Amino acid sequence: MEALSSLIDGFGVLGDPANIMYMFIGITLGVLIGVLPGLGGANGVAILLPLTFTMSPTSAIIMLSCIYWGALFGGAITSVLFNIPGEPWSVATTFDGYPLAQQGRAGEALTAAFTSSFVGALIAVVILTFLAPLVADFALEFGPAELFAVQLLTFCSFVGMGKEPPFKTLAAMMFGFALAAVGQDPTTGQLRMTFGWYELLRGFDFLIAVIGLFGIGEILLTMEEGLAFRGKSAKINPRIVLQTWAQLPRYWVTALRGAIVGCWMGITPGGATPASFMSYGLAKRMSKRGPNFGNGELEGVVAPETAAHAAGTSALLPMLTLGIPGSPTAAVLLGGLLIWGLQPGPLLFIEQPDFVWGLIASMYLGNVAGLIVVLTTVPLFAAILRIPFSIIAPVIVTICAVGAYTVNNALLDMSFMLIFGVIGYVFKKLNYPLAPLVLALVLGDMAESNFRNAMVLSDGNVSIFWSNGLVGSICGLAVFMLFWPAISAGLRHLRGTTSHLPAE
């Protein structure tokens, strides 16, 4: 099969020892980032992105995606040991992970979490390997109207499937678009919304926004509960690992289900976080051990972790094939690709096969390497977290400031980072979702130019968006997603008046 031979070529790209080294560096950095609050997946990749400008795009993306893996793995460490989710998608892992740690079974919990992550990601990568070329081929037919429709669907899905109030989701998203529009209009070169401020010529860089929103904002949020960072100790040795591995095959149904949920949520822009919750909820309802979830059930760790990692991995599928990132971190990676002059989308597979398949091959190896690294270094990372927050917090802020500066060598960007940090803090507290904001910021210019090109093609006729079956169905689905909250509220109201439902 063509996919397999391309994959093997991809592994050849990895044969370069420099790339292997970047892989391990990336994973180690990634786990560190995943473990420290405020340096989450999206933020960490954003900070380290400018450092990779001197590397070749292939090496750079390998290292960055391994950072991504590392962060995925690392988030579980703090969830289990400290009951603090290192990443939003590790929240569900705390439900059973921390109780296990409290019972002295932290080693088992961590082994289960890491192994589940490995399995979830592996299944997702295999699916990605075979599905990606198919989707890319299919997407070659896409014109600007279709591309805009897909992006529209992405954003409408946030409104439809997000937990946050739809008005706020729309507001956050549009805010992101507005921020993306600041600066020079890519088509006409006119200055938009700079209000005479020369520094805004470049517009807002999404990296600055990500570092501020997810980095500084996260730290401010963590600070609310004060500086306590007391965690359970973890003893993880080969015996515990093997013992846990012996137990895990029992949960293969949960793992498989989690992986499928994760792949689905990752490809459609749901993301790893809802995937982990959904998988946990499903497992709780469908498993024999369900009632015991929340008290330290290994299965309660397997479910969310497989889903979260499958989702995180498969989020890369739409990013590579369609240019639609399925998660904020994928959005940052997408931004990086754009900076290197690589245009994600169907043409990428044709024009840059080395890059694409090298990346996909690195996902396999990165996953394996990640599992090894993380199993062996847990005590080290747990020790790092014992460093008092009064030292760690300013160091993290300094690193964020460095990250913000290195994007454009502009001092002003650090102040913007701070402003975004406060925005991130307030938004999170008020339940405004940040992911659509970031996605809009990254995709804003692209979406607008697709829209404009489509309009030019149709001579100003909006009906181009339902002119053929493909566009029409995508747009139809998008509109449906957009109004889903209203529809489901209406349905609930109808049902509620005719039957007595137990209070949720």
Residues in contact with other proteins by the rule CB under 8 A: 50-51, 54, 83-85, 91, 94, 165, 167-168, 170-171, 174-175, 177-178, 181, 185, 187-188, 190, 192-193, 195, 216, 219-220, 223-228, 388-391, 393-395, 397-398, 401-402, 405-406, 409, 411, 414-415, 418, 422, 425-426, 429-430, 448, 451-452, 455-456, 460
Tokens 């822009």 label which residue?
269
In degrees, rounded to 5, the angle at the alpha carbon of residue 307 between the alpha carbons of residues 211 and 338 is: 40
- For other proteins, give the closer residue by CB, 390 or 498: 390
CB of 115 to other proteins, least distance (A): 25
Nearer to other proteins, 144 or 366 (CB): 144
Nearer to other proteins, 108 or 218 (CB): 218
As measured in angstroms, the least distance from the Cβ of 477 to other proteins is 20
| Smallest distance, other proteins to C-beta of residue 367, A | 27
Which amino acid is present at 146? E
Distances (CA, A) of 137 to 150, 210, 390: 16, 32, 52
Which residue, chain included where needed, has tokens 């002059």? 341
Q: Cα–Cα distance between 503 and 129 in angstroms, integer? A: 45
Smallest gap from residue 88 Cβ to other proteins (A): 11
Q: 3-class SS at 191?
A: strand
Least distance to other proteins, CB of residue 168, Å: 6
Provide, rounded to whole angstroms, the least separation between the CB of residue 104 and other proteins. 20
Rounded to a whole number of angstroms, the minimum distance from the CB of residue 497 to other proteins is 15
Q: 389 or 480: whose CB is closer to other proteins?
A: 389
Strand ranges (E), 105-255: 183-184, 191-192
- In terms of CB distance, is 139 or 145 closer to other proteins? 145
Cβ 223 vs Cβ 270: under 8 Å:
no
Residue 4 to residues 131, 199, 287, Cα–Cα distance (Å): 12, 49, 36
Minimum distance, C-beta of residue 459 to other proteins, in the bound complex (Å): 9
- Give CA–CA dist 268/102, Å, rounded: 36
Please return the burial class of 358, using the count of CB atoms within 10 Å of its CB with bins 0-12, 13-18 and 19+. Answer: buried
Three-class SS state of 192? strand
Tokens of 498: 């005719």
Q: Are 434 and 332 in contact (CB under 8 A)?
A: no
Which CB, 103 or 461, lies closer to other proteins? 461
- 3-state secondary structure (DSSP) of residue 182: coil
Nearer to other proteins, 217 or 258 (CB): 217
User: Any idea what DSSP says for residue 215?
Assistant: I
> Among all chains, which residue has been given the structure tokens 């003893």?
235
Q: Which is nearer to other proteins, 384 or 414 (CB)?
A: 414
Q: Which is nearer to other proteins, 57 or 133 (CB)?
A: 57
Give min distance, CB of 407 to other proteins, in A: 11
In which residue are the tokens 């209406």 written?
490
Residues 6+ apart with CB under 8 A from 464: 145, 454, 455, 457, 458, 471
Smallest separation, CB 486 to other proteins (Å): 12
